[in-house]
Amino acid sequence: MAKSIYINKKVVIDGIKFDSKKEARRYQALLLMQRAGEISDLELQPKFELIKGVKFSGDNRAKPAVRYFADFAYTDTATGKRIVEDVKSPVTKEKPSYKMKRHMMLAIHGIEVLET
């Protein structure tokens, strides 16, 4: 597996490739929480459209939509609230592109991304 620029080591668990050991550990913790009934409907890599695709005049092809891919989404069974979660290191939390997409998730979808 290729090494990331953030020195994360990719990990495969249950046939699923994770970008880091931290993300893989969080997945395992969420599985335990789901088995215990604390959460339900665990979803990996949920995607959200932030900006529709567009076609500029003079272009042959349309530009694709801007999407945000979170690490996990699930329902907290105690509150019924849908949680969207991203596992981030201190370095990646500060990336302008991530900050912008997190901001857009709240502004457009009303979803505050939980950072773990």
Structure tokens at 16: 């699923």
Residue 5 has pLDDT above 60, yes or no: no
Residue 7 has pLDDT above 80, yes or no: no
pTM higher than the cut 0.75: yes
Cβ-based neighbours of 100, under 8 Å, separated by 6 or more = none
Q: CA 82 to CA 42: how far, in whole Å?
A: 10
- The pLDDT tens digits of the residues spanning 45-74 come to 999 999 999 999 999 999 999 999 999 999
DSSP for 4-30 reads PTT-PPPEEETTEEESSHHHHHHHHHH
Inter-CA distances, 58 with 54, 66, 87, Å: 12, 21, 40
